[in-house]
Amino acid sequence: MRNAQLSVPIVYWQNGITGQLLMGAPECFPAPAYHNKIVCHTTHEAEFYSRLMRQQEASREAMIDDERDAIEEEMLRNLRGHMHHQMANARNNMNRDFLKIWLERQEKAVNKRHTKRESYLHAEAFEHGH
């Protein structure tokens, strides 16, 4: 079934300079400048390029997350240092306990800023139950 013919070919465009894959327009439209048109007539070809596109998206998202971490880590470190200073100079135990709980929660907090996204062709997503 993997070599089943597609009734409507799936088209990808690959940037000739960077190698980045994009979903293309229907087969009758030309590829943009500096892009190569890849027409998939079988499901095997379509799944191969879809998997390649997902890998490229994952590496791109990881790079964005790393850039974000590099910027935000310094701010979070300064904020934690400020909260430690405030906790040491708190006027009463209630303020000190509040800041202590806040710092403990920040250490346990899961990093929700990282993106986890996968894109599939419609047929693939249906097969995977998405």
Q: Is 129 left (phi over 0), alpha (psi -120 to 50) or beta?
A: left
Helix (H, G, I), strand (E, B) or coil at 52: helix
Instruction: Encode the chain (130 residues) as per-residue pLDDT tens digits.
Output: 567 888 888 899 999 999 999 988 888 999 999 999 999 999 889 889 999 999 999 999 899 989 988 888 899 899 999 999 999 999 999 999 999 999 998 888 767 777 777 777 766 655 556 5
